[in-house]
A = this chain, B = another copy of it.
Amino acid sequence: MRLPRKLTAMLDKPSPETTDRNPRDMANAIRALAMDAVQKANSGHPGMPMGMADVATVLFQKFMRVDPSKPNWPNRDRFVLSAGHGSMLLYAIHHLLGYEDMPIEQIKNFRQLGSRTAGHPEYGHAAGIETTTGPLGQGLATSVGMAIGERLMNARFGDDLVDHYTYVIAGDGCLMEGISHEAIDLAGTLKLKKLIVLWDDNGISIDGKVEIASKTDQVARFEAAGWKTFSVDGHDADAVEKAIEDARQSDRPAFIACKTVIGYGAPNKAGTHKVHGEALGDDEIALARQKLVWKSEPFELPEAVVKGWREVAAKGRDSRETWERKLADHPERDRYEVFSSGTLPAGFKGEMLNFRAALIQDKPKVATRKASEMTLEVVNHVIETTIGGSADLTGSNNTKTKGLQPVTAEDFSGRYIHYGVREHGMSAAMNGLSLYGGLIPYGGTFLVFSDYARGAMRLSALMGTRVIYVLTHDSIGLGEDGPTHQPVEHLTMLRATPNLLVFRPCDVIETVEVWEAALLEHDRPSVLALTRQGLPTVREDISENLSLKGGYVLKEAAGERDVTLIASGSEVEVALKAAEALKGEGLNAAVVSMPCMELFAEQDDTYRASVLGSVPRVAIEAGVRMSWDRWLGDRGRFVGMTGFGASGPGPKLFEHFGITPDKVVQAAKDAAA
Contact = CB atoms under 8 A, between A and B. Distances in A.
A178 B626 CA distance: 30
Interface stretch (A132-140, A147-155, A367-375): A132-140
A221 B220 CA distance: 7
Interface string A403-430: 0001010000000001111101100000
Interface stretch (A179-187, A504-512, A563-571): A179-187
Interface stretch (A315-323, A494-502, A515-523, A573-581): A494-502
B482 A173 contact: no
Contacts of A624: 496, 498
A221 B212 contact: no
Nearest to A448: B135
Contact of A181 (B118, B180, B459): B180
Interface string A643-663: 110111100110010000000
A607 interface: no
A135 B484 contact: yes
B483 A122 contact: yes
Number of copies: 2
Given A224-B221, A425-B178, A630-B626, A498 B492 contact: no
Given A205-B392, A451-B454, A120 B648 contact: no
A24 interface: no
A461 B490 CA distance: 14
Given A113-B646, A396-B206, A644-B462, A182 B173 contact: no
Contacts of A644: 461-462, 498-499
A395 B454 contact: no
A108 interface: no
A136 to B, nearest CB: 6
Nearest to A206: B392
A480 B278 CA distance: 12
B212 A408 contact: yes
Nearest to A449: B135
A44 interface: yes
Nearest 6 CB-CB pairings of A with B: A178-B178, A113-B648, A213-B420, A181-B181, A629-B629, A134-B484
15 contacts: A111-B480, A113-B649, A120-B481, A120-B484, A173-B392, A177-B452, A178-B424, A189-B216, A207-B394, A213-B392, A217-B226, A220-B224, A221-B225, A492-B626, A496-B624
Interface of A: 41, 43-44, 84, 111-115, 118-120, 122, 132-136, 172-173, 176-182, 185-186, 188-189, 205-208, 211-218, 220-221, 223-226, 390, 392-396, 406, 408, 418-422, 424-425, 448-449, 451-452, 454-455, 458-459, 461-462, 479-485, 488-489, 492-493, 495-499, 624-627, 629-630, 633-634, 642-644, 646-649, 652-653, 656
